[in-house]
Amino acid sequence: MVGDFFKTTCESLPQHGKETFLKILLTRLDSFSWSPVALFYMMSSATKISPVNCWGDKELHMVRHLMFHSVRSQNKQLNSTLQKVILQCFLIHADVSKIMLEDLLSFLLLCVKEQVLSRPSKQWNECSKWLWQNFKNIKQESDSGQFQPTISSWFKQIFGMTGDCQEQGAIDTSINQCDIFLLLIFLYADGQCSNNDKLQPMEFIFQNITTQVKAISDKAAMHPYLPHLQIVLSFHFTKSLLTFCMTAEKGDPIVDIILTSLWQIWPGLAAYVMRKLPSSCLAVNRLEIYLCPTQLFFELSEKHSHNKCSVLGLGQNVLAALILSSILAAEKVMKNKIDESSLRALSVAYKTIDWACKMSKKHSVKLPNDCLEKLTSFLASLAGQFQSLALLKQEPNLGANKMREMNDMLWWSLVPLLFNPSLNLQSRNMNGLSFLTLAVDCVHTTSFDNLPHLFTVCKTLLGEVCGNTKNLLSEETGTTCRQCIRLLWKTTIDLQNSSIFRPLYKTMVYAIFQKSVLFCTSEPVLESVKYVLDKIQAVSYNKPLLLVEVVTALSKVCQQMFFSPNRHEFNVLKSVSNVTDNAVNGGATTRCLELYVDFIVHCATFSHIPSKTMLLTDQALLFAKQLAVDVGPTDIIDKSAEINLRSSSLLLRLANNDSGFGSICLQRLVDLEKQADKKSKARCHLNSVTHFTKQKLWQNFLLLLPHAHGDCGNQLVKETLGFLNENLQASIRHFVEWCLTLLLVRYPTCDGLLFQYLRDNSTENVSFPAICSCLTVALLLGIAKQKSSAKFQPHYYLKLFDTTIPWCMTQHFTIRLCAHAVLLRIHHIFVDNGKLDLLKERFSSLDACLQFADNSSGNVKKNWELIKESPVLFYLDPLADLSLETIFCSFPRLCHVTCPDVSMLDKWMTVSTWMPLRNTGTTLRCLPKPLWLSSKSSKTEKLNAGERCEDKSADLNLQKKIVVGNISKKQSGFVLVASLIDKPSNLGGLTRTCEVFGADRLVVHSLSCVDDKFYQSLSVTAHKWLRMDEVKRWNLEQYLVDMKTDGYTLIGTEQTEQSKCLSKYKFPKKCVVLLGNEKEGIPPALLRRLDVCLEIPQVGVVRSLNVHVSGAITVWEYAKQLRFTEADTTS
């Protein structure tokens, strides 16, 4: 609506008015703090206005500040979407003739770095097309307005600098200029492609540039005196081109142009890297400038395999040379006295070795044997190096604390290489425990920025120590591991409000929840893992997304340990009815799983209702999708579904491996249901947290049902029957009914409990919802028995018929209707099997009984029509419809409950189950949402599916609120005088009555009554919409005289000798009605001034009505006679 208002308003303005409006809008948005959601709607509305072209350099700076400083939201998805909308709005209304090219490109480069603008994307395509079309009109320092001269002069300016500029500020400025230069090329080239223009000029430009860069790189490999800045820029330029090629789509014409000449740069860069690195003259933070292009060449060769052999062949020499030269440099430093310069060289050596080893492992580059041997010897001496470096902290004359700390972290990056199987260092008896002890000490002292790096090291060391069974014999080992695990959790949660919390938390999760730690036999380790799980579970209610990483890590570990084959065959009946337990995997493993069952069940039943802010954010993102804005990943609701489905898949995997674990989970689910009944109210609200939790609990009960032990069937049936006595939501009740049906199929000797429950109708503990559910279960059990035996079961159905008929005559009409529905379904079953004569022979009055509900009227008829739409009573087959789709999607949907999309099952239910993923039939999938719900659900819930009510709208008397804007507010001429009334509550009620029925004004003794809380509780806000006058009691007589002079008829509500009946009196148009005091009535002095007194007829014993009620009846009588004519009534 805001967008339509903006568009309509601007279209009615002249051109200068539109410009003024948009400039003021942008200024106000930039000057004040706005909610991200409100800002999103304002800017998206501005995009609907036709282009005005009024924003210049000043507005460009405002837009830049608005995008990257004013936009602040905890939801990164909303931030990104809002920034994209602001950029889109700027491109629509920008005046390119008032914007400098360099300022514009700096702004777009910032958008690229902040990931607002990326290639390929819709925003990139719009921006490139816009730039190509408007390039000639953009302000430039040179007035050429042509693309090629601009590019040539810019390239000469960037690469033409001489001198060995070592200042970091100058290097950063030049790199930024290089990025702007490349951004202009890519945007302009894509603009040409989008307009079907020829790319020959761009091909010439790229060839010219890459030729010059190749000349610089080749010269750098042999020329020691080449300006350092030119080398840095050539490396950075190569890195940017490689990054562009890596992110481009297959078949990109610009990539084909770049790749033809890009491979020629590689030999010169490789030669320079081998000659120059590592060098003591380099800073560690500049090392990436040289290593990153080499890494990108490796990755690009994987993507374009035709150059893979040449790149990896030269790459092997590069990596080996880097490792050997770095080891020599490090050994040289350690032999001499360490100062700040040598410490820098040592850091470069450490980082280079770490990088080269990672590249070798990632791209399968086999290092020469002499290099591996040298590397192995160097890594074996790391512990001694750390002790030597630790002495530096005691050197008072050595500064550069930051340098020492960086050196420590780079040293730690080499520690995981000690336990790399390919290096075979285990034969040297590497002690992971000693390194883990050092790492724990360093966590306490390291800086904020280095924690993620140290956590990664702790992950490797924990896996090594816990996986080594020899170390676990020591109590010291278990204590150290417990200390490390608890420290990782405490450090992470203390930083939950920092920017590094997410990556730190992810690293912590994968450090603790790895195979060797989870299934360790050490008591201290298992106790500490259980401690962290309990803490995460407690925090998850406020931070639900924390569960995603843990569930993902647990799933990966269990998938490795308990591999489950893909789905191929499904025998639902065999799985449900088979009570033979699976083989147990092992005592130690089962015991470890028992420690984690509470957490996994918590995740499987976890429910999160988004806050109001989250809902507003989701609505804004949904609106952005309608505007075709790329909003990125899924929202929190999908994450909640991911947590549940992944956890259910994990439970199934573990239960398939060990039926004992499945039985434990089932009992845990039953215990949780009992706890929920004690904590929650008698009945939870639809789609509430409690409702979702209980529903997910019974969904998982269905999945794990085949893993129940054979000796606990009677107990499970009794407990499930007991749950039916609770006042449950419809979806939960029908899941319990389904579970009970399958339990009775699994344990057929227990069906006597069900029929005993139905026959025991005099028991006080039996509630009418339980009777309806038991009738439904008995019906579903007959359908399942027929399905399992593959033949008709007339004896069971006749037994059920005998049990059901008495319930057709009970006093509670809901039970009667449910019993009629069961009889009707049985009738259909006999008809389908051609055995209707057998049923009619037994029950001669069957037709009359079945027609009773159809021939009824009123509420019985309406409820019967609703019950006939129940998918459980008339459509569900408890065995044929048993699938993941029915449990998680179709059944909740039919119960008006929020459910995940079916595609999520394909993504996250990756384990082989005893039931199929999709339903074999289409009945439940295509069934529309019915109007049925449980008997105590509100009418609003019953009629929630409004789209299906067209044919029944005449029978449904729905609640409807009056639309305030349609009410007539013409002057009525009715004045109510209440100056004699004392109680604020009576005055408040009269105020509301007068406002509702359109009185002209209300007269009171004092206007201060509107501040009274008792007055406000009755009046609500009526006093804001009604004229109120103040007339003191002692001035009432004169007030009445004045109103008489103005032509008003004076009327009093009082029982007198000459009073008239209210219902027979014809009110004049202009009248003043005087109300008496609560106790004394109207004083005699005022009675003499009145033209007439009215009294309300009554037949009761009580002498009079409350003054508020009397006044309300009088106001209504006046309104009925004069106010509510046909023309004035509300439509």
Residue 680 binned pLDDT confidence (cut-offs 50, 70, 90): low
* pLDDT at site 1053: 92
Query: Out of 226-240, 402-416, 505-519, 699-713, which region has the weakest mean confidence (pLDDT)?
Result: 402-416
Side-chain-side CA neighbours of residue 197 (13 Å):
15
In a domain, 949, yes or no: no
Q: pLDDT tens digits, residue range 460-493?
A: 888 888 876 554 557 888 888 899 999 999 999 9
Query: Out of 219-223, 248-252, 302-306, 1109-1113, which region has the weakest mean confidence (pLDDT)?
Result: 302-306
Q: pLDDT tens digits, residue range 724-747?
A: 888 888 888 889 999 999 999 888
Per the structure, the complete domain to which residue 1027 belongs is given by: 972-1123
In a domain, 261, yes or no: no
* pLDDT at site 570: 47
Tell me which of 521, 539, 555 is where a domain ends: 521
* pLDDT at site 571: 55
pLDDT exceeds 70 at position 665: yes
* pLDDT at site 936: 40
C-alpha distance from residue 255 to each of 131, 248, 269 (Å): 20, 7, 20
Residue 135 binned pLDDT confidence (cut-offs 50, 70, 90): confident
C-alpha distance from residue 502 to each of 116, 497, 914 (Å): 21, 10, 37
Closest CA to 625 of 74, 124, 78: 78
C-beta separation of 643 from 700 below 8 A: no
Tell me which of 159, 189, 224 is where a domain ends: 159
In a domain, 151, yes or no: yes
Mapped onto helix, strand or coil, the DSSP state of residue 671 is: helix
How many Å apart are CA 975 and CA 1072, to the nearest integer? 5
In a domain, 182, yes or no: no
In a domain, 272, yes or no: no
Closest CA to 433 of 387, 388, 491, 483: 483
Q: pLDDT tens digits, residue range 315-358?
A: 777 888 888 888 888 777 777 766 666 777 777 777 788 888 87
C-beta separation of 365 from 359 below 8 A: yes
Cis peptide before 1084 (omega within 30 of 0): no
Between 9 and 179, whose confidence is greater?
179
How many Å apart are CA 374 and CA 196, to the nearest integer? 57
* pLDDT at site 649: 87
Report the 10 Å Cβ neighbour count for 1035: 13
How many Å apart are CA 684 and CA 692, to the nearest integer? 10
The string over 222-258, giving b where at least 16 C-beta atoms fall within 10 Å of a residue's C-beta and e elsewhere, is eeeebbbbbbbbbbbbbbbbbbbbeebeeebebbebb
Q: What contacts 191, CB < 8 A, 6 or more positions away?
A: 128, 129, 130, 131, 132, 133
Q: pLDDT tens digits, residue range 45-82?
A: 888 888 888 899 999 999 888 888 877 666 777 888 88
pTM of full prediction above 0.75? no
Span 935-950, average pLDDT: 37
- Tokens of residue 631, six digits: 């909003």
In a domain, 144, yes or no: yes
Q: pLDDT tens digits, residue range 1009-1049?
A: 998 888 988 888 888 888 999 999 999 999 999 999 999 99
pLDDT exceeds 60 at position 1130: no
Closest CA to 78 of 52, 48, 128, 40: 40
Residue-averaged pLDDT of the chain: 78
Closest CA to 378 of 439, 454, 324: 324
In a domain, 359, yes or no: no
Span 443-452, average pLDDT: 77
pLDDT exceeds 60 at position 587: no
- Domains identified in the chain, total number: 3
Write the CATH number for 1018.
3.40.1280.10
Closest CA to 66 of 32, 103, 37: 32
* Share above pLDDT 90 across residues of the chain, in percent, rounded to a whole number: 13
pLDDT exceeds 80 at position 793: yes
* pLDDT at site 485: 92
Tell me which of 159, 192, 217 is where a domain ends: 159
How many Å apart are CA 586 and CA 885, to the nearest integer? 33
Residue 1080 binned pLDDT confidence (cut-offs 50, 70, 90): confident
How many Å apart are CA 401 and CA 532, to the nearest integer? 34
In a domain, 480, yes or no: yes
Span 704-733, average pLDDT: 83
Query: Out of 283-287, 928-932, 982-986, which region has the weakest mean confidence (pLDDT)?
Result: 283-287
Q: pLDDT tens digits, residue range 591-647?
A: 677 788 889 999 999 887 767 777 777 777 777 777 766 655 444 456 788 888 888
H or E element in which residue 1004 lies: strand 1001-1004
